[in-house]
Every structure is written in C-alpha cells, then in structure tokens.
Structure 1
C-alpha cells in the first residue's frame, strides 16, 4: 500500500495553513528544494548552547589532561556528527523520515524494534532539555534577586512548553526559519559570554592538570560522542528529506558535520579552559551547569544569558519533538503529523511538570534509563550506517510501506544483530546513577568475567573498581558490531533488494 502524497499536498498546504501537513509519506519531487548548505542552520542552532561549555567539566571529570581532553573533544564531536551526516544521506535517497528509511534494513514491521527505542530516546532527551530550561530560568532569576519560587517555575514551564510544542506542530518549514534566526541570536550571545569570561582562564592551572590513562580517555570520548552526535543520530535523515535528489552525498555529510560540530567543539574547548582553571568552579558546573556559568557574568548580561540558554535548549527540544512525532507515525499511529507532534509535546510537558514540581529523586533514574537506551541506539546506528554504505541506488518508495515488497516484513539478520550487539554492549557499561537508580545496576555483567573491573557493594553506595568500567566500552562496541556484522552478513541481501 503506497503512502505517497498527491500533487496538491505538502508545500501548498503548508503555505496555505502555515503548518506542515506532510507526515511519513515520501516528499514530492516538486517540494525537494533544499540544498546541502541549508542543513547548517538546524544543526548549528540546536547545538550552539552555553550548556556545551559545561561539558568541559564533564570531560575533565574523567581525570585526563587538557591536551588529552582537547583531542577527544575534536575527535568525539566531529566523528559523531559525521555519522549523523551518513544517516542524512538516506534522507536524500528516500525523502522520508529516518525511521521509515530504516525499514530497508529491518523490514517494514521489524523496524518497530528500533522505532520504539528511538521514540523513547527522543521524548526522553527533549524532556530533559525542557527541564534544564525551566530550572535555568529559576536559577538566573534567583541570581538577579527576583522571585525564583513556584510562580517563576510555572511561568517558565508554560513558556518553554508553548515554544517547543507550537514550533514542532508547525513543522519543517517553520522550524528551518526559526533555527536560522536562533542561530544568530544564540551565536552572538555565546560569543559575548566567552568575551566576558576570558579573564577567568588560568593558563598555568590548565597546563598543570595531570594526564589520565587510556581507559579514562576512552571514557571521555564515549561520553562526548553520546552527548553530541550519537544523541541526534536517530533523527538525522528527518532534516535531509527535502534535499534535491541530485545533491551530493559528500556535501550533505559535510554540511551536517560542520553545522553540528563547529559550535560544540569551540564551546567544549572553552569549557575545558574554565574547568581546568578552577577545581571549585568545575565541581559547581557539574552540580548546576547553567547557574554556575551565570555566576561568572556581570548582572547586566544575566538576562541575555538566560534568554540564550533557554532558546538554545528549546531549539534542541524542537528538533527532537518534531522527529519523535514522525517516529510515532512510523510505529503505526494513525493521526496527522501535527497531532503526533502535539501528543509528544504534551508528554514532554507532563514530564517537565512532574520533575520540576513533584519528583524528588526522578532526574537521576531518568538519565540512567536514557543512557541505557544509548546502547541499542548505537547498535542501530552501526546497522544503518553499514546499510547505507552498501546501497548504490535510491530507495524503492513503494516498498517502504509494503510488507510484501522488496524490503520484506522483518529482516531477522538486522533484528538479531541489534539485539545481540545490545546484549554485548550492556555487559560492558555501568550505571552512573547506582544509588538513585539501583534497579539499573544489572549492567556491566561482562566486566567481572573479563577481568575489566570489580563490583563493590559498598553500604554507602555500590560502585565499580577498576580502570575500564566507567569507560563505557559497550556503546562503542555496539556501534562497531552493528556495522561490521551488517556490512558482511547483509551484503547479498542489499544486492538482491537493489536488483
């Protein structure tokens, strides 16, 4: 059964209604007007956030030197966004959302396995961004001496949720225009922030930070890859599906990587300099990123800083909620795309309200759950990258919606690869919130048998002893296994599909 649009749909209805009505169906040829350089705007706007500066403290928290941190920052951020760029090539080849295009690798029905994981990850991380935006508002208001109580949090929640939901419902064309504006606003404000805080850098202290072990370097690398590019990889093709069919794949990868990576690399490096300059400042940033970064500023810039922080977080959340709505449709929910985005927006709002106003120990378990989902997401990414690398032709549009078509109902090789890589990966990662999320301490079951670490059940809180446990090798291994197995085992399948 085809799910393609009719000639008078898509862009014409968007112009008339102001809302994108195109859902998971194939984009009409006449609507594919985007150019590779257009990809710069959504990726840059979603990642040019002062929150990125806080990653400097997170990276140095692994116990590595500034030089080591500089290398893993550039490598981790650039490589992870380059992988997003590879996934974005699928959007150009098929002009459909990421999770629809993934049906070519998993089968039309088999795709629901990674689809559910993708939906949970998107909803979860964007809710987390919304929570950060609300808490940042209260923190800055408190520093200004204004009200930082319940009323402020209620207003912040309403404003943040309204911005995210309304932009997500409006859809692709409105979001692209919004992101191009936010790019300039947040970019300029971030440059001003850096200029105002340069004198906080102590070069002698930066150079004195001792070097760490290989395991610590790997741990920082995995954290950066997961926190940046791999956190977006499941939606990467959603923003390239309006590209011309003749757009060069290398240009799509290049602009996607440049737009996503340039701001985080610069911001994390500046964050490294700040964190290495003061151990106390670094510890405070880990506990309260936005609030601590605000304490370095003169009072007159606190309001612009607040607006910049909120808009950057909202920008990232908008991309996630828009794409989570498309993923919801790919799972078989039969509603218009704006309604799907609205449903996910409501879930985001409810989650934000619960954490900000009611939950006492929810944030740690919440993050633990999302990090755990990063392993199967990495496995899916490896499978998808290999599938794209194996293909030489555009996707069969009709077959993406037909279980009896060339992609079939379920590709058991891909399903088994994702499950197997996830099982292996979970065995080599540990729960970073062992006290707050004790129910998630089942991970790391391969570390002991392989001699990579020892689980210590301390009354004050369980932890892992050894050099490798917190390196989170399982994420990288799941990614590599997904790619390697697929590239070898499905080569013949892809050739038959394209015959």
Structure 2
C-alpha cells in the first residue's frame, strides 16, 4: 500500500477536530431539552478510572440513559470546579447561583465570551438527591430527565460558543430534536486537556464548530405526554425497551405535570374502574380490589330501594291492622320496626365497607373461624327461605291477577310461568354479579318509585281518613308485636346480606354516610307501603282480611281502573325480582363461606336451583301471605336477632378495621372459637324462642317460657313476640361485658 506523501499528512489537532466533527454529525438528532444543569456536589472528585467503571457498568446493563447522565454530571462538575462557566457562560461571578445573566447577542460562534452578559447556567445543589457517601457505592443516575420538543433541521441550527476545559462538552443546543429510529446514543466528547490554566489563553477556534447536544437535567417531570406518532415493530430495535432511541415523540409534545393527589387519597395503579356488567364477577370471599371500589355512598340508596319496594308490603300493613292496632299505633309500630332495622343494616354496611368482604366472612371476627359455621348455616337457611318466599309471591301475584282479569281460566299456568321467568331473570343477574346487579337495581329503583306513585294515585279514592282514624286503640303490647313483625320483615330478613352490597364502596368515603344511605334506601319503601296498606285496611274493614291474605288480588278487587292491571303486575313483579336478585347473590357468598368453595358463580347457580325448587313447593302448598309472614319468619328472626346483636355490638366496639387476611385463614389475628359469643348465640336463641308464638301447628312448642309462667302465648304480652327483641338486646350487651379485652387484643395484632 502506498504511503501518502508528507503534504497530505495531518497533525493530531486536525485529526481530533475531524473526529469531533464526525461525532457531532452522528449525534446531532438526539432529543434534548435545555434546562438548568444539576450537578452532584461530589461528582468532580471522581477519578477517570471511577468514571470509566461507572459508565461501563451502565452500558453493560444496557442503561444508556444512565451512562449519559453519569458522564454529563462528571463533566459539568469538573467544569464548575475549574471556575469556567458551564456551556458558553460568562466568567465566574457574573450571576448568583440559580440565576441566568442576560444574553449577549454580539458573540460570534467560536469566539470567547467576554463575561459581560452571555447566558450562564451556574450550578445549584439545593434540589439534588441524597449526596453520595465518599466511602459508599458509586452514584446512580437521577430520574429527573427532561422531555423532548420539536426539532429543527441541521441547516437551521446555529452553532453554540465553545468554552474549553479539561472535561467540558462542546456546546449546548437550546432546543430539542426529534430522534432518529435505532440511532446510537452518543457519549459526550471531551476536549484534550489544555496545558494552560483555564481562562489564561484564547481557546482554539474550530473552523465550523459542530453541535454536540448536552443532556440537561430538567425540573422533576411526573409524566410525559406522548403525542400520536407512526411506529411499527419494524422501527423499534429489540435491545432494551426503555432506551432513548425507542421513544417516539411528536413534534408538538410538551411535558405535562400529573395532577396532585389529595392527601389521604388512595392511589391505585391503572386508575379505578368498577366491575363491568356482563363479565362475571371474579371476586369471591377475598377483599374487593381497591381499583374496583369506586361506589359512592349514595349508590347504596338505590341498591336497597328496589329490593324493599314490593307492593307485598301493603299486605304487611293490613296484617298489622288485623292485629287490632289503630292507625296511629300502626304508624308507631312501623316506625319503630324501621328504626330498629338501622342496627343490622347500617352496621353491616359499615363492616362491609371496612373489609370489602361478604357479611358471613366478616362475622368470623366475632365468632371465630370455626365457631362462625353456626351462624353461617343459619344465614344460609334464612336466605334460602326468603328466596323461596319471594319467588312464591311473584308466582302467586301473577296467578291471582291473571285470574281476576280473566287472562287465564285458572291460576296454575300463569303462576308456573311467572315462577320460571322470575327465577331465570334473577338467577342470570346474580350470576354476573355486582356489575350487572348495580345497574339493574338502578333501573328497577326508578321503575318501582314510579309504580308506587301510580298505585297510590289509583287507589287513593278508596281511602277514608275519617273512618280510618275512628278505629280505637288496642293494647300497647300489640304495638310491640307490630314493631317486631316489621323489624323481622325488614331488618332481620336482610341483616346477613348488608355487607355484600357495600363491598364496592370507596375506602375514603364516609362510613356514617353509607350507613344512612343504606338504611334510608331500605327503610323508606317499607315504611310508606306498610303504612299505606294499614290505611287502606282501616278505610275498608271488610277488605282488610283480603288485603292481608292476597294483597295483589285484593287491590284488583277494589275496583281499580282497567288500565292499572299491567302497572300493578309490573310493580309487584319487578320489585320481587330485585329482592330475589339480592337474596341469591348474597346466598352464593354464604355457601362459599360455609366451606363449600365452589366459586361465587357456581355457588350462585346452586343457590338459585334450591330456591327454585323451594318456590315451586310453596306455590303448591301455601295459599295465604299472612300464614307465611307470621309463622316461620318469627322463628328464624330469634337467632338472627341474637346474631345481629352480637355482630353490631362488636362492630361498635372496634376502633380499627378488620384484618382481611386473617378472615380467610386460620392462625391469624382471629381465633378458631370465640366461646362467649358462640354460647350467647345459643342461649339468646333458646330464651327468645320461649317468648314468641306461632299460629302454625308444627311450631306450637314456641312460647314455652310463657307457659311456664302461666301466660297465654297467644294473648296479651304472650302474642307480642317480645322474644325477638330480647334476643337482640342479649346479643348487644354480651360484647360490652365480655368482648372488650378480646377486641383490643385483636386490634393490637392488626396494627
């Protein structure tokens, strides 16, 4: 190979300048945002070997951004310690730290600034991360990286002045540049060390100073807004996903700060999103995920309103009138029963919001993980019974109305059809779970409210206030009977289901507000309908017995307008479907809490099948409503009242939320048995059943304590069913006397 003659040889300075020009040409399109330079106070103390090791470690781990950041930090620190302004700045002392002097437009590219006003970025250490320990590990790169902005072509760029230093970048581009796909990220090039002290001689002036971008560390950026950009897998290299050359930023991009999160608010990755309606709910006994807990307290109103707004409540009001109550006594009994319902419904709602778990899972904290089997069996039996009653009521209402209107020659066919449609509709909604339940309940709440108003308007002409107010008062012991009946029909029927509909409440929402909304939504419809049923019965004494036994048929026989038949059927059917949805949905969790663990969806189907069979059996064997609501419900209400008292008492004692993992496995905060509560559940049930009575022959043994005392269980105080209220009181008092120490022990372990 021929050697070039001496005239074509270049000295070292020319070769270095050519190399710098080539590096500048390759790296001129890196997206950079100019910003205040931040330098670690100890970066200048690093030796060249330490810098090489630090950058090499970053490159070995494919962390190019960290390598650039570390190297730039060292260069800027060395520039600062050499008393030379960073990146084309004025002489030392022209500006205070953190300030920028006014720019000098007279400086030409490549000329030394005279220090009279060129822009100077002085170094500040006020907002740096924790300083590096001299004896500790090497520093790591800062996450405070600036975003990119629009690019200009190479022809539009103006060269920046170059200030020589032992280790100083060649220049600073005051704007950002759009990246090139898969272009290597350059390191900052050092100038050769000058043998003269900094500032003592004129710097060498390159013929065309290249533009080498400097990575400046900007103010902390919370998030970047990436505009639309065309990018396909062919445009992306496969080395490291977060390399700078994999970032595509549009020309109009600007950094956008993330809004501040209010103090105390829960932050969830991905943002909150409620459950979708037609996707089966995956959550079972475990706590509801925080990102799914988006419900407001007001949602509890319409979740409960539709389920308790059945026109069957009119029959309950007529039953109270049949007990001999006057209109004012009937209103007092109804109000007391609704008020008592606040305890199980409100406190159950609070417990569900605290834990995000079903009622019979939270109950394990009160009775122990093994001891809770007893109330769980009770809860399952109660829910299956009420589910069957609701289904039977839907079928019998459709049969009675069809016969009265002449739509069918007999009630059998429409009853069977209504039973089938009701169980299929309710079972399907309960199968999909909370997402669909919440939406269906909202629609049914609106429909039920409208239909209740229509029912009152259609039947108001049958109200006679003078005749109703003329009914004399009965013994006030009958008021206790009426209040217990309403309490059993409302509060105790739903006591063991209250947490299920509160599991999706926002953790930061008010617990007291949720309790009020839940009780208000569950209590207002029964109060209005029971009171109005009593008013209709008192205004039409001859029809009171009919209203108590078959409220739908009795309303039709009052001589309502012909157009009201369909709204009446909808008013009864939709509200019963709503109540049945809540019952089956809750019973599915209860079956899993018993230890079956089929999964919520399959447990719901099993419960729906049992309810269907029981409803068909009731339809074939029972004719009147009052025999149902005055017999079995009272017997079930006694142990449920004892459970509700114990559960409510311990909930009122608690100052901390439940320890969710310990509710799902043994060996945690909660023991296997809470013997005082388990024993009191049995004792209160035994005592309460001895102080109630039932008209059903197979429940004639109830009221045995009255008989021992020589009191007739079917007259006076014996017919008051005071045993339900006594069981509730015994349950409430027990935690106050025996449970305080245990609850405090649990809370210490929970902390």
Fold shared per TM-score above 0.5 = yes
Distance 1:360 1:202 in 2: 32
The structure-2 alpha-carbon separation of the partners of 1:160 and 1:16, relative to structure 1 and needing over 3 Å to count, comes to closer
The one of 668, 671, 676 aligned to 1:408: 671
1:258 aligns with 2:517: no
How many residue pairs align between the two structures?
477
Paired position in structure 2 for 1:374: 637
Matched, 1:418 2:681: yes
Q: Does 1:60 align with 2:321?
A: yes
Counterpart for residue 461 of structure 1: none
Deviation of 1:31 after TM superposition, in Å, equals 1.2
2:407 corresponds, among 126, 133, 146, to 146
Residue from 565, 573, 598 that aligns with 1:302: 565
Moved >4 Å (runs of 4+): 11-14, 360-367
Question: What is the aligned partner in structure 2 of residue 50 from structure 1?
Answer: 311
1:230 to 482, 492, 500: 492
Change (3 A) 1:288 1:327: same
Q: 2:334 aligns with which of 73, 83, 93?
A: 73
TM-score, with normalisation over the residues of structure 1? 0.91
Q: Which moved more, 1:287-296 or 1:482-491?
A: 287-296
Mark the CA change 1:361 to 1:190 in structure 2 (over 3 Å): closer, same or farther.
closer
Quote how far apart the aligned CAs of 1:369 are. Answer: 3.7
In the alignment, does 2:708 pair up with 1:449?
yes
| 1:269 counterpart (531, 534, 540) | 531
Query: What residue in structure 1 maps to residue 733 of structure 2?
Result: 484
Once superposed, what is the RMSD of the aligned Cα atoms? Answer: 2.1
Higher relative contact order (CA 8 A, sep 6+): 1
Cα 1:362–1:318 change in 2 (3 A) is same
Bigger share in helix: 1
Aligned 8 A contact 1:13 1:20 in 2: no
Distance 2:619 2:412 in 1: 9
1:313 partnered with 2:572: no
Q: Distance in 1 between matches of 2:641 and 2:423?
A: 29
State the distance in 1 between where 2:555 and 2:269 align: 50
Write the distance in 1 (CA, Å) between the matches of 2:727 and 2:479. Answer: 19
Q: Is the aligned partner of 1:165 residue 2:414?
A: no
2:556 & 2:280 partners in 1: Cα distance? Answer: 36
Give distance in 2, aligned partners of 1:14 and 1:169: 13
Equivalent runs, 1:350-361 vs 2, <5 Å: 350-357=613-620, 359=621
Q: Is the 8 A contact 2:543 2:554 kept in 1?
A: yes
Gaps of 5+ in 2: 1-267
C-alpha change, 1:279 and 1:16, in structure 2 (3 Å) is closer
User: What is aligned with 1:347?
Assistant: 610
Q: Structure 2 vs 1, CA of residues 69 and 369 (structure 1 numbering), >3 Å: closer, same or farther?
A: closer
Distance in 2 (CA, whole Å) between partners of 1:64 and 1:362 is 21
Paired with 2:452 and 2:446, the residues of 1 have a C-alpha distance of 10
Contact 2:549 2:624 in 1 (8 A): no
CA distance in structure 1 between the partners assigned to 2:282 and 2:354 by the alignment: 21
CA distance change for structure 1 residues 477 and 266 in 2, over 3 Å: closer, same or farther? same
Structure 1 contact 355–362 (Cα < 8 Å) conserved: no
Give secondary structure in 2 for the equivalent of 1:36.
coil
In the alignment, is residue 473 of structure 1 matched against residue 736 of structure 2?
A: no
User: Per the alignment, do residues 236 and 164 of structure 1 end up closer, same or farther by CA in structure 2, a change over 3 Å counting?
Assistant: same
> Distance in 2 between the 1:362 and 1:62 partners?
16
What residue is the counterpart of 2:398 in the other structure? 137
Q: 1:360 to 1:392 in 2, by over 3 A?
A: closer
Correspondence 1:494 to 2:743 = yes
1:370 is displaced (CA, Å) by: 4.0
Q: Which runs of 5+ in 1 are unaligned?
A: 1-6, 455-463
Task: Select 1:95's aligned residue among 356, 365, 369.
Answer: 356
User: TM-score, normalising length from structure 2?
Assistant: 0.61
User: Structure 1 residues 495, 419: CA separation in 2 closer, same or farther (over 3 Å shift)?
Assistant: same
